[in-house]
Amino acid sequence: MNAIRIVLGVVGGLLLIYGVSWLVHGLPRATLLVLIGWLAAAVIIQLGVLTPLVLAVSAVLRRFVPDRGRAFVQAGLIIAAAVTVIAVPLMLRQFSQPPAKAMLLQDYRVNLLVLLVIIAVGTSVAYAIRVARTRGP
């Protein structure tokens, strides 16, 4: 098992070096600076907004949700947050290009809502299965 981890670590490191070298040598300086700014903003948003928000929600959940259900609620919220973070830029950029040129022609708000409902239902079903198994006959 250790050999597999070492090989995967080396391969991952080499791919990281290849990707960074491609970015540095393959992108124009202006695009690279925009990318660096975007990555810095992502780190700032993660550490300054999302992490405190997750901690606050966890504190509220600890107070109001029973222990057995808390893990399921937290998992559902984490998945919903990840999906929402991906969908928000798509919603903001929607209709920014003419239809012939745009790939963003779907209604992302409705799609996000449907996906969030699916996540909620899936989380609820998983919790119901857990409750049914622990009660038993």
**String of b and e for 82-96 (b: at least 16 CB within 10 Å)?**
ebeeebeeeeeeeee
Cα(94)–Cα(62) distance, integer angstroms: 38
Q: How does pLDDT run across 23-68, given as a tens digit for each residue?
A: 889 889 898 898 899 889 888 988 898 888 888 988 898 889 888 8
The first and second tokens of residue 33, run together, are 């600076």
pLDDT tops 70 at residue 136: no
pLDDT category at 104 given cuts 50, 70, 90 is low
Q: Is 98 helix (H, G, I), strand (E, B) or coil?
A: coil
pTM score, two decimals? 0.65
76 or 135: whose pLDDT is higher?
A: 76
Cα(133)–Cα(131) distance, integer angstroms: 5
Q: How does pLDDT run across 31-41, given as a tens digit for each residue?
A: 889 889 988 98
